Amino acid sequence: MAPIFPVGIVVALIAVMTVRHQNVLQQQQKDTSDSKGIQENSRGALEKARKIQPPTISLMEGGEYEHGEFWGEQDAVIKAAWEEWWNQQETSLPNLLKAKNEMMDSALVRAVQQVRQNPTEENEDQLQKLFQPIVANQVYQIPLLTPRGVQLVRQHLDVASYYYNDRKHHNNNQTQDNNSSPVEKAGIPTRRPNGMNRYGIIIDPSIEGAVSYAEINKWMQELVDEFVRPLSRMLFPQLTSRNHPEDDCESYAFTIRYHPEEDMELKEHSDASVYTININLNLVPEKNGSSLDTTTVQNSNEHSTTHHDQSTSTTTEQYEGSSLYFVDPVTESQQHVSFSPGMAVLHRGLIRHAALPIEEGERHNLVIWLFGQHGYVRFGEYPKLERLTVAERWA
């Protein structure tokens, strides 16, 4: 059996996984009191949660535990508040599960369906042609969401957000789609996404202070199960074994936001994951229902700039700077990536990477980590005879 990754040497965000594991281990002790607390707060929980004054987020490093006691104390009422809010807004927000066909890149969906129906190496080879390698065997890029898909996901996340949307940038009390009734912003306090980023939300029903309601939880789980996990297993087949399905059985999702007046950059680090997917959620005009590809990859230390077409819609978000770079473990060179809305970068968590300073505008991203049971992260490779077959990857 290949070695377990020594969690203590992970540069970035590993303590979040510790918090997650502690929550699981303590669950039996909390079940009785949490159940009682939820029952007591189930009526009027939303009103109570909106009156909670959350503590100020400040730490730029090591923020995983910042105000952890506060979020633990408020967990019951916040979880009940999300349930109450969703029951009120369910018919006003888009149904992400029913909209899957218009949300996902059509070429990717067709290729994935072909492999599922006929799991052969030849069909996987055709699917892999959709991926652009950034760092050989380490980092890949692919169109994932259509402009419509980004829009629908953002409708959910924007009304659920607290710190960076409700407080500062979106002072209006309602958000509205062209074909939907007004949606009431949640106004429920949310915990910072990780130890290095201050602006964003956690999407995980097991984390105290996270956003958690039925629609977003189900969509996130389907995204992981139907796309992220099997695609990662295909790209990095050496990291999973039929004898150890627990190696990538858990996931952790969060959003991050970069703005020149707030979090501007992210220092070089590795993720506490076996593999990571990073999806650009900036809004762009819809064009023929497909993703706009303005990707540039640079083999230098220069910043790359993303420009988004505004010719067909005013619903667009631009930013300059804020490119990612990944460190090639063989050459130690920096491979720079500026990826357009709807595009995803899928990479091994072990590879070092960073976000360069944003110069103008704002960048929104959804990040999902996959890792082993209770937060364990592997880095060793399995022998070929132990690795998953094509059929097992897509079962």
Is pTM, for the whole model, over 0.85? no
Confidence of residue 179 (pLDDT cuts 50, 70, 90): very low
pLDDT for position 20:
54
14: pLDDT strictly greater than 60:
no
**pLDDT surpassing 60 at residue 391:** yes
Predicted pLDDT at 74: 97
Q: Which residues contact 12 (CB under 8 A, 6 or more apart)?
A: 194, 195, 196, 269, 270, 271, 272
β-pairing, 266-269 with 275-280? unpaired
Note the pLDDT of residue 43: 64
Strands (E) in the chain, as ranges, are 4-5, 132-135, 139-143, 174-175, 183-184, 202-203, 250-258, 266-269, 275-280, 296-298, 319-321, 324-327, 334-338, 343-348, 353-355, 358-361, 363-371, 377-378
Residue 60: the pLDDT is 86
pLDDT tens digits for range 327-344: 999 999 999 998 899 999
**Domains, in order of start, for the chain:** 4-54+67-393 (2.60.120.620)
Token pair listed for 351: 């590879």
Percent of the chain with pLDDT over 70: 76
Q: What is the pLDDT of residues 237-258, one digit of tens each?
A: 999 999 998 999 999 999 999 9
Q: How far apart are CA 115 and CA 102, in angstroms?
A: 20
Is 60 exceeded by the pLDDT of residue 40? no
pLDDT above 90: residue 24? no
pLDDT-derived band at 232 (thresholds 50, 70, 90) equals very high
CA dihedral (181, 94, 162, 168) positive or negative = negative
pLDDT digits (tens, 9 = 90+) for 124-168: 999 999 999 999 999 999 999 999 999 999 999 999 998 655 444
Residue 177 pLDDT greater than 50, yes or no: no
Q: pLDDT value at position 291?
A: 40
Instruction: Tell which residue, 84, 81, 83, 70, has the closest CA to residue 208.
Output: 70
Q: Using CA atoms, how far apart are residues 317 and 315, in angstroms rounded to an integer?
A: 7
Q: Residue 374 has what pLDDT?
A: 87
* Strands 139-143 and 202-203, bridge-based pairing: unpaired
Pick 307 or 153 by higher pLDDT.
153
pLDDT digits (tens, 9 = 90+) for 58-111: 888 889 889 999 999 999 999 999 999 999 999 999 999 999 889 999 999 999
